[in-house]
Structure 1
Amino acid sequence: MAQADRVLHFGRAPHEWLWFIVQSPLAVRSFNLAYNSWFVVLIASVFIACITRRDTKLRHQFLMSFMLVWILAGFFLAMGLSSAGPCFYERLGLGSDYHSLMQALAAADRIYPIWALSTQDLVWSGYIGATPGSLGISAFPSMHVAMAVLFALYATRRSRLAGLLMWAFAAIIMVGSVVLGWHYAVDGYASVLISIAIWKACGYFLGKFAPEGVAA
């Protein structure tokens, strides 16, 4: 994944292109806040779809896509293509390619709390068995990006303004996943394609086999 990132980004790691963000503690803090707000957006999007008064194909398309993205990408691909994100690269003895990124995040953490770092430590502790429970590391694909893109696809069909806001949110999540060291850029690129493909497939399926009583 790291090598693919460099090939796709003209010999440089994606975070190196985004160094103007990485070196700004306030910017890193802002991306961390947005990244954590993903959980709120996820709950809100599913809740809105579930309480929609009209039983529409759009509602079914979103809920079907939501489940399939989690099952196919969040389980099968995540298990089959398990990988360690940049934040764990050096801990696994793979080299110091991301040392400068993690040092910059640590420096930002001394000014503003960067929650991603403590979460990464927690996940790592679970991975090595230092803490009880089942915690693992898997960077590919990025479920944060996959879900954010799915939210944007759904919101675009409901409202042009909501769609613009959610695509902006998806872009922020994509950049944040790289800046915070969670993911390689290719994790996010693959997630975008996966979500769009599943969304389109569900839309096609419902167009052909939508149950009776489901409005267009």
Structure 2
Amino acid sequence: MAIESVEKNFRSGIEGRLALVSLVYALAGAIFSWDAYIALLRQYSVSYFYALPPMLLGGLAVAAVVANPRAPVAWLKHILRERALGASLTIAIFCLAIASFSTFKHHIPAWLPFFADEPLAALDEWLHFDDPWRWAHAMAPDGSSSFLSLLYGPGWFVEWLGMVLVAAFITDNRLRIRYFVAFAATILLLGTILRAAGASAGPIFYDRMFGGERFADLVAVLAADPFGARMIGASDYLYSAYLSDDAVFGTGISAMPSIHVAMAVLNALLLTELKRWLGIVGWLFAAGIMFGSVFFGWHYALDGYASTVLVLVIWWWAGRIVDAPARPV
């Protein structure tokens, strides 16, 4: 019992420090650009206000049936009793920190020019004996662009936000804290620091940023498909915000590393810990996000490779931190 109490206090301490670091990160974004931070916080808060309740109710209902099919209502009451307050605080801190993440993402091009695109495009082509987007289009079945656009757009958003909700309600302290430690490290290291260190726009923006026709064939192929054309429209939206310096929903252009892939991989790792079959679904989803990121030209394949490797390291590191008191001295 004494050992269990020590471990519980230790993990509570980790959770408190994690909340503090997240709030400091949120404050840093607000101090750096108050107008952008408030604009983004308002936009995300409105979006989450409408998205969170149905996702929360639906997610908890599904989780109750999966976790305890014989008594889902009893399970649901237990979860709400155990985690309602803690989950609410977690979600509130998440919203504050994500607004800061988007603020930094929006301003990175103002700090640093997109200097990494040329070497990334060249290395991508050399490693794959051609531009990876060509391989992706050659491998994709006819009509798959509709599925990929759904997966990469609203599908990714729902999984990303949904998994934050799922993790916030996990009663296993070790697993919950490990996930949020890894989540915070991914946002800070990959989404902010490495995003600046590898400042790049991605294939879909390449010709607009640097001139020439390096990826003209990609744009032509996308434009010929209605779902690819939607992706071009989304890139036009982001490019317009980049030129006007408007902090709008989803603001920011960045390729290396891929946060889409990073978060999908992190969620796959959590799902694997919860249930093996959920893990399989999570890894298939992550593979689809990786494929879609190249198919639509948002990322170089290297962006996804780097994100996958780094998130695996971060997940291992987060596990070491959470498990530290359980190791023998």
TM-score, normalised with respect to structure 1: 0.88
**Structure 1: how far apart are the matches of 2:225 and 2:139?**
11
Alignment of 1:57-206 (within 5 A): 57-109=174-226, 112=227, 114-129=229-244, 132-133=246-247, 135-206=251-322
Q: Bigger radius of gyration, 1 or 2? A: 2
Report the counterpart of residue 20 of structure 1 in structure 2: 138
**Structure 1: how far apart are the matches of 2:187 and 2:122?**
26
Q: Which moved more, 1:74-83 or 1:90-99?
A: 90-99
Question: Over aligned residue pairs, what C-alpha RMSD do you find?
Answer: 1.8
Report the counterpart of residue 49 of structure 1 in structure 2: 167
Shift of 1:114: 4.5
Q: Which runs of 5+ in 1 are unaligned?
A: 211-216
Q: Is the 8 A contact 2:228 2:296 kept in 1?
A: no
Structure 1 residues 78 and 159, CA gap change in structure 2 (3 angstroms): same
**Structure 1: how far apart are the matches of 2:228 and 2:195?**
29
Q: Which runs of 5+ in 2 are unaligned?
A: 1-119
**Structure 2: how far apart are the matches of 1:69 and 1:94?**
32
| Superimposed CA distance per residue, residues 165-196 of structure 1 (whole angstroms, 9 cap, x where no aligned partner) | 00000000000000111000000000001110
**Structure 1: how far apart are the matches of 2:255 and 2:125?**
17
Equivalent position SS for 1:128: helix
Shift of 1:101: 1.2
- Letter of the 1:16 counterpart: R
The structure where helix makes up a greater share of residues is 2
Equivalent position SS for 1:137: coil
Shift of 1:95: 3.2
| Superimposed CA distance per residue, residues 9-33 of structure 1 (whole angstroms, 9 cap, x where no aligned partner) | 12x0101112225694x21121111
Q: Is the 8 A contact 1:21 1:179 kept in 2?
A: no
- Letter of the 1:82 counterpart: A
